[in-house]
């Protein structure tokens, strides 16, 4: 974790205030004055301000049912950030573990634990994300095997990682992927001559939306949090 972020998690200071504190030379890490806010620190480090040991607050893990016309960002850009929907202290210090487009609804995981979110985002961990997809044209059964092998996306070298395509009806499917390329689901169906007209994420790993209403959120339980620590 960055030192300035650790200070924010241990005090009521904002990120800018933490940087000013560091610049003043009042912060020590294991007895050494540190002024660089980007310095990486760990739980076993002793971090003090004017001799007082800091203790970071516990990390937060949240699931939210994202509505349309909100963005997975810490700032408003054309559409409002979905972090406005979360009634917690310092909500904008959190980050989204696996973003969705403004026109996409569904499951979003939000945290301030960077190592935990890395397990969700990085393709090497092969964390499965399940999407319900509405298509403009009927989908053929033959594409089940195509998606299983991998699809060639425009502008990309090589194929996508193997994906699971389950056909619900001629224009509705479930797609399970383990990557998070830019507009990946939309581009995968475009590559086979179809177009996504509705997109909704139902599941990440073992965590499902279940009965969580549109726009609502809750904290993950311990079992759900631990399911991503692999």
State what percent of residues in the chain have pLDDT above 90: 75
Question: Confidence class of residue 8 from pLDDT cuts 50, 70 and 90?
Answer: confident
Is residue 1's pLDDT more than 90?
A: no
Q: Which fold has domain 128-204?
A: Alpha-Beta Plaits (3.30.70)
- The predicted model gives 41-57 an average pLDDT of 88
Tell me the pTM. 0.85
Q: Tell me the CATH number of domain 58-126+209-230, given options 3.30.310.50, 3.40.50.10490, 3.30.70.580, 3.30.590.20.
A: 3.30.70.580
* Residue ranges matching CATH 3.10.290.10 in the chain: 3-53
Catalytic residue among 76, 101, 157, 210: 101
Residue 199 near residue 131, CB atoms below 8 Å: yes
* Residue ranges matching CATH 3.30.70.1560 in the chain: 128-204
* Residue ranges matching CATH 3.30.70.580 in the chain: 58-126+209-230
Q: Tell me the CATH number of domain 3-53, given options 3.40.50.2300, 3.10.290.10, 3.40.50.300, 3.30.1330.40.
A: 3.10.290.10
In this prediction, residue 50 carries a pLDDT of 87
In this prediction, residue 5 carries a pLDDT of 85
Question: Confidence class of residue 117 from pLDDT cuts 50, 70 and 90?
Answer: very high
- The predicted model gives 211-226 an average pLDDT of 96
pLDDT higher at 43 or 165? 165
Is residue 9's pLDDT more than 90?
A: no
101 included as an active-site residue = yes
CB-based contacts of 182-187 (< 8 A; 24+ apart in sequence): 183/101, 184/153, 184/160, 185/131, 185/133, 187/153, 187/154
């Amino acid at each position: 974790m960055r030192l300035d972020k650790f200070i924010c998690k241990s005090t009521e200071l904002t990120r800018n205030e933490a940087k000013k504190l560091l610049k003043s030379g009042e912060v020590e890490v294991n007895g050494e004055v540190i002024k660089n806010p980007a310095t990486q620190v760990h739980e076993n480090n002793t971090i003090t301000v004017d001799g007082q040991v800091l203790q970071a607050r516990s990390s937060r893990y949240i699931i939210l049912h994202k509505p349309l016309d909100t963005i997975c960002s810490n700032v408003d850009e054309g559409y409002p950030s979905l972090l406005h929907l979360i009634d917690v202290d310092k909500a904008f210090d959190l980050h989204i573990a696996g973003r969705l487009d403004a026109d996409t609804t569904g499951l979003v995981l939000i945290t301030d634990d960077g190592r935990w979110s890395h397990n969700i985002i990085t393709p090497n961990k092969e964390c499965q994300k399940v999407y319900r997809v509405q298509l403009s044209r009927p989908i053929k059964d033959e594409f089940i095997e195509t998606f299983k092998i991998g699809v060639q996306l425009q502008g990309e070298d090589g194929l996508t990682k193997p994906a699971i395509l389950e056909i619900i009806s001629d224009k509705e499917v479930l797609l399970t992927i383990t990557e998070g390329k830019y507009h990946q689901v939309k581009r995968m169906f475009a590559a086979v001559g179809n177009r996504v007209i509705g997109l909704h994420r139902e599941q990440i790993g073992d965590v499902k939306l279940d009965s969580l209403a549109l726009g609502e959120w809750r904290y993950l339980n311990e079992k759900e949090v631990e399911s991503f620590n692999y």
